[in-house]
Structure 1
Amino acid sequence: MPTLLHLDSSVYPHEGSASRGVTASFRKTWEEQHPAGTVIYRDLAADPLPHIDGVSATAGFSDPAEHSPEQQKAFALRVELAEELERADAIVIGAPMYNFTISSTLKSWLDQVIIMGRTAGETPSAAGTPVTVVASRGGSYAPGTPRETFEFVQNYLEAVLNGMLGLNVDFIVPELTLARVTPSMANLIDLSDASRAKAYEDATTKAKALAARFAG
């Protein structure tokens, strides 16, 4: 049965997070299509991975047979994450924008899971796996908006997820999520609500379409 890898990185709990709601909707739809399937879930905010350090970094560029005990321990985590990535038939990632880019916890996952010669390089081991990224943000950074040039979430993740890991990247972008709690954005509430509704609709549509690939 198919496997979904589900990553959340919002610092807020479900009821206060735009990205968590949409990734949960995606997962629910996926599970409805594949009730006997497997979901690998990591809440990177509640259970953060360690930042990559010199020990874990050098372990990725040396012969495992020659690893020190410290390198063995550090590299074991990287291998575990790589295996989760490789097992996945599809991936959904909650990637809210913080200070114009992704959370440090999602960056830690990327730093750990990118292993040159395995998950990255000339023949990435998970190449072609579809990944749906829920890139929520409090304002709007769409083309033509005043802050278009401050958008470093989609640009970065496209480069890393596709350019390095070889994944097939698709985005869902709920924006203007702060409109209902920010007085100066009150005139944007209707646009915010429409963006939220479309994000949930897209999550359902995309999850069904991906799940159908593995039917039967």
Structure 2
Amino acid sequence: MSTIFRLDSSIRTEGSVSRAVADTLEAAILEAEGGDTTVTRRDVGTQPLPGDVWATSAFAGFVPETEWTPEQRAAKAFAAELADEVVAADVLIIATPLYNFGVSAHLKLWIDTLISDPRFAPGTETVKGKPAFLVVARGGGYGEGTPRAGWDHATAYLRRILEDVWQLDLDVIETELTLAEVNPQMAELRDLAREQLAESHDAARAGGRSVTLKLRAAAA
């Protein structure tokens, strides 16, 4: 039996590309695993973490546990709950849009709070080698040669945390031009946007099938 941990950070539910591609990925894993898989969900886009939880948990790390205030004790317990969800999973799916050229504030708060748990501090190897997917959706085009090349300040940071700090075995599925269908100024890009979206769903299906081989090898 396998467990998927899925985190969504889009503030939209209807029309969210990051959610839709993650749905395809999740469905592919469930189908390939033959239904013997559970999914733990954390939706920080529609159910954000408490805004003060990271700072409270982080500062508690600088004083002895016997001196924690009730607020610090609650924050550390919450951080531990987040850590438990990730530790218990066999594969991770993290789905996020690019917001204002940077990381979703809700996702950043989740990362910071998780790092305040000792199991996920830099230098630890708690989830080293665990398969994970980062599903990214960007409203415009940010590739080389485009007017906004280099304006995506989120994806490189997320890769740094997931690949280098937590040492996950990471695959990234990226979709661009997701606003073409609703932005008249991007009308000429709609065909390209549809092609990219179709390719992302194909990549999600292929990734879902291939990760089951890793899960089975790990269980063997």
Q: Check if 1:32 corresponds to 2:31.
A: yes
Q: Which residue of 1 aligns with 2:178?
A: 177
Aligned residue identity for 2:98? M
Distance 1:36 1:53, change over 3 A: closer
Tell me the SS of whatever aligns to 1:19.
Answer: helix
Q: Which residue of 2 aligns with 1:45?
A: 45
Cα distance, 1:67 vs structure 2: 2.4
Aligned length, in residue pairs:
215
Q: Which residue of 2 aligns with 1:118?
A: 119
List aligned pairs for 1:1-216, cutoff 5 A. Answer: 1-13=1-13, 15-34=14-33, 35-51=35-51, 52-115=53-116, 117-215=118-216
Q: Distance in 1 between matches of 2:192 and 2:181?
A: 11
Instruction: Indicate if the aligned counterparts of 2:129 and 2:168 stay in contact, CA closer than 8 A.
Output: yes
Tell me the SS of whatever aligns to 1:163.
Answer: helix
Q: Distance in 1 between matches of 2:66 and 2:87?
A: 23
Q: Which stretch has the larger CA shift, 53-62 or 15-24?
A: 53-62
Aligned residue identity for 1:40? T
Aligned residue identity for 1:24? D
Q: Distance in 2 between matches of 1:86 and 1:165?
A: 11
Instruction: Indicate if the aligned counterparts of 1:131 and 1:168 stay in contact, CA closer than 8 A.
Output: yes
When normalised by structure 1's length, the TM-score is 0.93
Distance 1:183 1:27, change over 3 A: same
Aligned residue identity for 2:166? L
Cα distance, 1:68 vs structure 2: 2.4
Aligned residue identity for 2:124? T
Stretches (4+) displaced over 4 A: none
Instruction: Indicate if the aligned counterparts of 2:8 and 2:45 stay in contact, CA closer than 8 A.
Output: yes
Tell me the SS of whatever aligns to 1:6.
Answer: strand
Distance 1:63 1:129, change over 3 A: farther
Tell me the SS of whatever aligns to 2:97.
Answer: coil
Instruction: Indicate if the aligned counterparts of 1:4 and 1:92 stay in contact, CA closer than 8 A.
Output: yes
Distance 1:54 1:117, change over 3 A: closer
Tell me the SS of whatever aligns to 2:4.
Answer: strand
Unaligned segments of structure 1, at least 5 residues: none
Instruction: Indicate if the aligned counterparts of 2:54 and 2:75 stay in contact, CA closer than 8 A.
Output: no
Cα distance, 1:54 vs structure 2: 3.6
Unaligned segments of structure 2, at least 5 residues: none
